Chain A
Amino acid sequence: MAVNAIYFDGQTARDRTVSVQEDGVNITFSGDETPVMVWTISGLHAVDPPSPGQPYRLTHVDKPGARLIIRDESFISLLVARSSHLKGGYSKRDISHVFGWIIGGLAVVAALGYIAVALLPERVAQVMPESWRNRVGKQMEMSLVENARACHSPAGDAALGAMIGALAEGSPDLPPISVHVYDIPILNAFAVSGGNIILTRQLVETADAPDEVAGVLAHEIGHVFHRHPEAQLVRMKGVQILASVFTGSNGGDTLTSIASVAALLQYSRKAESEADAYARETLTKASIDPVGLKHFFEKIVKLEGESKKSSGTLTVLGNLFDTHPGTAERMKEIMPLPPGVMPQPSLTDEQWKALKSICG
């Protein structure tokens, strides 16, 4: 059967009337101004899916600009019956192409994410120059304590120094640290970049014995030793960069921020247990009773409800008392000193009093 169609040859805008036939393999058409053209059915492509009452527009792989427009419904259904790809829309091959690219894109993002979250941060943290660590640390400390007062008294500062000295007993490789007590009404301790450790007034005042503070301090020194704050900082930056590049936005996306917080929290848990292990080891080497740290943990668990004031940014910065499950396990791992080892006091009574009253 031969039907009339309109042909645009892709060279000029002129429309030509042609007469079209099909034989199951090819369609053949010609007209007054059109020489005989043969298009293979397998090479045909439907611009739009056929739809009743609408002209059906065909093109051919060898003539990408040419268009053949058929209006005869029975001819259209005949053609579509010949080959299912003439139903138009996406073919299976198109779909697998699109998703190949998309899955490839997601794989690249996942690989970059793995590098930014797992591979790079710890390495960058290890090679970061001292001056960077200190400067960034000062910034972090400032933003963390905001306008809180730094507590100082000559005797209190001396007591802190003595406590660090006691911890260094048996651990000559203790990293250089600088410890500050701030008048902050929350119960917490933080390690920030550059070996800066922040204790809160409430922490010092809640502790019943110097060994409890020494235990907390040993834990924070563990963060400093492993350079957790530096690594976490690099990790945060990496996730931010990736999120902004990926979504084409400035990273303010809820979806990406949820994903990044999840990734960061994962690592903060690992960091906590590394710091715990460091604390246990350092305390044992210094013959300071690790049970002090345990007692402090118990106190925290009791107070947990009230002390849960820390905000989102704080939770990723080497926060000591993350309220995630596992506090009980962390406590279980703390063993008393081996039998026969004489516990050494981390501070004298007098020093302890001075430290307790450092904030006045």
Chain B
Amino acid sequence: MSEISHPSSSETIRFEYVPRPGLFKLTAINLLLNIITLTIYRFWAKTNVRKHIWSCVHLNGEPLEYTGKGIELFKGALMVFGLFILPYVLLTQGLQFALGEGNAGVVGLQSLFAVLIYVLWGFAVYKARKYQLSRTLWRGIRGTLVGSAMTYSLTFFGSILAKGFSLGWATPVMNTVLQEQIIGDMRFGDAAFKFKGRAGPLYPTYALCWLLSVGVVIGGFVFFSVEIYNWFGPELTATLDRVFHVENQPPPTKADYWNVWSIVGVLVAALISFMLLIPMLWAIYTAKEMRTFANYTRFDGAQFKLNATTGGIIWLTLVNLLLLVFTLGIAWPFIVQRNIRFLIDRLSLEGAIDIDRIQQSMAALPTRGEGLADAFDIGGW
């Protein structure tokens, strides 16, 4: 066999994002066809965007290739809607009609379905990842996940419960467990990814973010309570009584309305700034987790490094958010590009890999893709 005579040549891997023109045109065409086809085209739109962006990701000068087809996503979505969503909607709507809204049976069924969604969420994540890996080609070799989606799904469901009951404190442990499962199942051809590491080093950062968030919420609450009290003094309850027409109170004056609306305005502004500030705080943890998880990940003896910073994540998310809002979501291909580029620009693999030795994956190719993930609107690309 010629493989044996080939000299073993280990190489280091360089990641590079090489943008190509055409994404803007693709976005415009997608928008147009989405409108004409009442959004059915979205599966092909998603596929074309992936083809474009994958081909911009170069590893040692050789681009990735996305070989998925729109029809595979379309069939996946049809399956899920036909076997899952439609029967459920018909059943609950029919029962609601027959038994009345708020009937215990209907509410029970709806809660059961809500739980089922959480149980299946990890399944959808895993299957979508598996589909994407199986459609990603580099040097003619494709990736895959070799484990069980159901096992991952149960861990995922367990992690939701654990995070909830621990007020979030189980997050580093559970995320590490989940990452270990999915990365441990990941293959490129016959070569395996490995994930090994403890959650412990994540805890100081987690504690910092947790305490800061709680501090900001409590501090904000106290601050605004004191400010509002200082503004009105003992007049507060009387003003509210007048404005809300409590009996035996004189009618509210213009000043009363003005005062109450000012409070509402201040509170809304405060809420919005909390909604921005708290995720920003958590970017500290996200960055730490991304760097740590990359360090824990090895491929064929080489170790990943991801130079993700808090500022970088905040900037990425903020600009994505603005893009999304100001283009009414039309610019989503650029958001996908920004996300992938963020990773590729900061990713490196330290150590040499014997690329030539890697054999094609023998795993069967899934024929449909991402039905559940589409139904649940699971983000990503």
Contact = CB atoms under 8 A, between A and B. Distances in A.
A241 interface: yes
B321 interface: no
Given A13-B189, A248-B77, A65 B100 contact: no
B71 A139 contact: no
Contacts of B357: 12-13
B364 to A, nearest CB: 14
A106 interface: yes
B100 A139 contact: yes
A248 B377 contact: yes
A245 B359 contact: no
B2 A33 contact: yes
Contact of B140 (A66, A106, A255): A66
Contact of A57 (B65, B74, B189): B65
Given A10-B140, A10-B360, A102-B41, A245 B65 contact: no
Interface band, chain B: 35 or more
Contact of B141 (A12, A105, A241): A12
Interface in B239-266: none
B12 interface: no
Contacts of A248: 39, 77, 81, 374-375, 377
Interface string A42-69: 0000011000000001000000011100
Interface in A48-105: 48, 57, 65-67, 97-98, 101-102, 105
Contacts of A136: 97, 100
Contact of A12 (B77, B81, B358): B358
B358 A13 contact: yes
B360 A65 contact: yes
B40 A105 contact: yes
B156 interface: no
A246 B38 contact: yes
A245 B2 contact: no
A149 interface: no
Interface in A14-42: 14-15, 33
17 contacts: A9-B140, A10-B140, A11-B140, A12-B360, A13-B189, A14-B139, A33-B2, A65-B141, A101-B71, A102-B37, A106-B38, A139-B101, A237-B93, A245-B86, A245-B89, A247-B38, A248-B375
Interface of A: 8-15, 33, 47-48, 57, 65-67, 97-98, 101-102, 105-106, 109, 132, 135-136, 139, 237, 241, 244-248, 255
